Structure 1
Amino acid sequence: MTTAHRVLAALALATGASALAAPAASAAPLDGPTSLSVTDELDALATDSVAPEHRRHLPAPSEQLAGLNRLAGVPNDLQPLTGRLHPVTGPLGA
């Protein structure tokens, strides 16, 4: 048996095993929420790994992500200021 035949046999065996396991995996009933939230899972993991007395001192990952989303609006907030300074800073270059 050549190496190529061994690889094909291993792939066929893996494919057959996964095909047999797929119906059994989908037969389990769903308990709990039907949709998962990534930020809720991150918050849960973050609170589990921190001691209870220190949890109130640390912001949740969802709060940190919300802060990053607010940073996206900073260039628009600064546009009136930079527009007024352009006559002065324009000749200096960027």
Structure 2
Amino acid sequence: MTTAQRLLAAVALAAGATALAAPVASAAPLGPIEPLSVTDELDALAADSVGPEHSKAVPAPSEQLAGLNRLAGVPHDLDPLTGQLAPVTGLLGA
């Protein structure tokens, strides 16, 4: 695990703990509240922790999460292919 990964893991842990503790806080709002986006905050923190020479090579956390969302649909994309191969796999055995 590289230093940047450790730093991002620590920041993610701190952000998660803060998100869990935020509803407990009973501070009165001072003015209009802007909606908080966790992914935007993580992107900003990640951009600050990665050097400018490596910023193009390291994907943002929001891009990584989008990749995970696309990965969830892969089994459904493979259903037509596996349906066509089902008769052949019965002949080949396990």
Q: Aligned partners of 1:85 and 1:46: how far apart in 2?
A: 43
User: Which segments of 5 or more consecutive residues in structure 2 lack a partner in the other structure?
Assistant: 1-25
What is the TM-score with the length of structure 2 in the denominator?
Answer: 0.63
Moved over 4 A (4+): none
What letter is aligned with 1:46? A
User: What runs of 5+ residues in structure 1 fail to find an aligned partner?
Assistant: 1-21
Structure with greater Cα Rg: 1
Alpha-carbon separation, structure 1, partners of 2:84 and 2:51: 50
Identity over aligned pairs, percent: 68
What secondary structure, in the 3-state scheme, does the structure 2 residue paired with 1:41 have? helix
Counterpart CA distance in 1 for 2:60 and 2:54 is: 12
- Cα RMSD over matched residues? 2.1
**CA positional deviation for 1:63:** 0.5
User: Number of residues paired by the alignment?
Assistant: 69
With a CA cutoff of 8 Å and minimum separation of 6, indicate the structure with the bigger relative contact order. 2
Using the size of structure 1 for normalisation, the TM-score is 0.63
